[in-house]
Amino acid sequence: MQEQNEPTPLSKVGEFNLIDKLTEKIKIYNKSTILGVGDDAAIINHNECHTLISTDMLVEGIHFDLLYTPLKHLGYKAVITNLSDIYAMNAEPRQITVSIAASNRISVEALEEIYEGINLACECYKVDLVGGDTTSSLSGLIISVTVMGSAKEEKIVRRCGAQENDLICVSGDLGAAFAGLQLLEREKSIFNENQHIQPDFDGKDYVLERQLKPEARKDIIDFFEQEGILPTSMIDISDGLSSELLHLAKNSKVGLLVYEDKIPIDLMTITTMEEFNLNPLTAALNGGEDYELLFTLPLSYHDKIKNAEDIHIIGHITDKIEGCHLIPTGSGSLIELKAQGWQSKMNE
C-alpha cells in the first residue's frame, strides 16, 4: 500500500473520476453482457439458461489484514471466492459487480491495485465486471462482490441431491490456506514486536499462495462437462471440509462416512502445521478458504473419475440414521463429525 511515493488521497479525486479510473481497463468477454458499466444498470441476457446469483463481502480486520495482504491479491481473491460459489452449482460465472467502501487512509493508487487483481481474475475466468458502487467508510476497507452465472436448468447441481451409496469426492488438497494463514499471522506478531526482522517464508510458497491467491475450480466443472458427469450434490469448501460435509448431509437428508487417510493434504501443509504443533487434519477439516469442490457421484461414475488427477474419493453416503462420521487412519472406530469443536476432541 505504501509502495507509491506520493499516494493520492481519495478526497483529491471526485467519485466519478475515481469510478472512471477504476473501470477504464474493463474488458467484456461474454455475449450475455448487453450493457456493462456506465448506465444506471447493467443489462444481461442469459437466454434459455437460468441465472444464478451469489454475493460475498470482505471486511478489513475480519476477512483480510492489509499488513500482509497484497492489494492486487485481495482484489483477485474477492472475485475468486464468488466465482467458486457459482462453480459449486455446476454453472458458469458470467458477470460480477464490485462495491467498495474505503476510508481516506486508502489511496487512489491502492484502489487501482485492487482493481488490477479484480481485472486479472476477470480475464483468467472470462467474467465481465458490469457495475458496482463506490462510497466512503469511516473505518476499514470493505469489498463486496456479487456474481451472476448461467447454466441450463438440468445441469444445475444443488446441495440436496446426494443418495445413499454415492461416492463422496473432493478436488485438489485441503488445509493449505489455513496453514498459510498460520504462517502469516506468526510473521505478523514477530513484525509487531520487532519491525527489523524480515519475514521467514522460505520454501512456503504453496501454502502462502493458497491463502493469498486462491483459484476457483473451473477446470473441474469443465471436466464434468467433457465427461458427461453430473454430480448428485455439490458445495464449495470455504469453511472447512467438516462443515461442508454436514451441509451436504443435512440438505440431502443422508448420513456419510469419510476416511481420514483418503483426505488429500499437501506435504507442505503437513510440515507447516507440524511446525505449529497442530494436527494437519484439523486444517483440512476446520481450516477453510480452500475453495475446492466437494461433491457426490453415483457409483456408476467410478470409472470416469478413478484416473482423474485432481479428484479424490474420500468416502460414501449412508442412510441418515447412521449420522456423519470420520474413520481415523488405522482404527475402525468412528468419530462423529462436528463443524466446530472437533479439534478439542482430537486433542483429548
Stretch that binds ligand ADP, among 37-45, 211-219, 238-246, 250-258 (CB under 6 A): 37-45
Candidate list 8, 134, 137, 271; residue touching ligand ADP; CB under 6 A: 134
Structural Rg of the chain based on CA atoms: 21
Q: Are 290 and 237 spatial neighbours (Cβ–Cβ below 8 Å)? A: yes
Q: Where are the beta strands (DSSP E) in 238-289?
A: 255-259
100 touching ligand ADP, by CB under 6 A: yes
Nearer to Mg ion, 148 or 270 (CB): 148
Q: At 249, list the grid cell.
A: 448431509
Q: At 50, list the grid cell.
A: 437460468
Nearer to ligand ADP, 133 or 225 (CB): 133
Stretch that binds ligand ADP, among 71-79, 128-136, 148-156, 303-311 (CB under 6 A): 128-136
Bridging pattern class, strands 311-318 and 255-259: antiparallel
93 touching ligand ADP, by CB under 6 A: no
214 touching ligand ADP, by CB under 6 A: no
Candidate list 133, 227, 319, 336; residue touching Mg ion; CB under 5 A: 133
133 touching ligand ADP, by CB under 6 A: yes
CA dist 193 to 180, 188, 189, 198, Å?
Answer: 20, 9, 6, 12
- Give the shortest CB-49-to-ligand ADP separation in angstroms: 23
How far is the C-alpha of 121 from the C-alpha of 305, rounded, in Å? Answer: 28
- Give the shortest CB-96-to-ligand ADP separation in angstroms: 9
How far is the C-alpha of 288 from the C-alpha of 78, rounded, in Å? Answer: 15
Stretch that binds ligand ADP, among 70-78, 131-139, 187-195, 284-292 (CB under 6 A): 131-139
309 touching ligand ADP, by CB under 6 A: no
- Give the shortest CB-115-to-ligand ADP separation in angstroms: 8
In the block, residue with C-alpha cell 454475493: 55
How far is the C-alpha of 84 from the C-alpha of 94, rounded, in Å? Answer: 12
Cβ–Cβ contacts within 10 Å for residue 108, how many? 20
# residues near ligand ADP by CB under 6 A:
14
For 191, list phi and psi in degrees, rounded to 5.
-60, -40
98 touching ligand ADP, by CB under 6 A: yes
Interface positions with Mg ion (CB under 5 A) = 133
Interface positions with ligand ADP (CB under 6 A) = 19, 22-23, 37-40, 98, 100, 129, 131-134
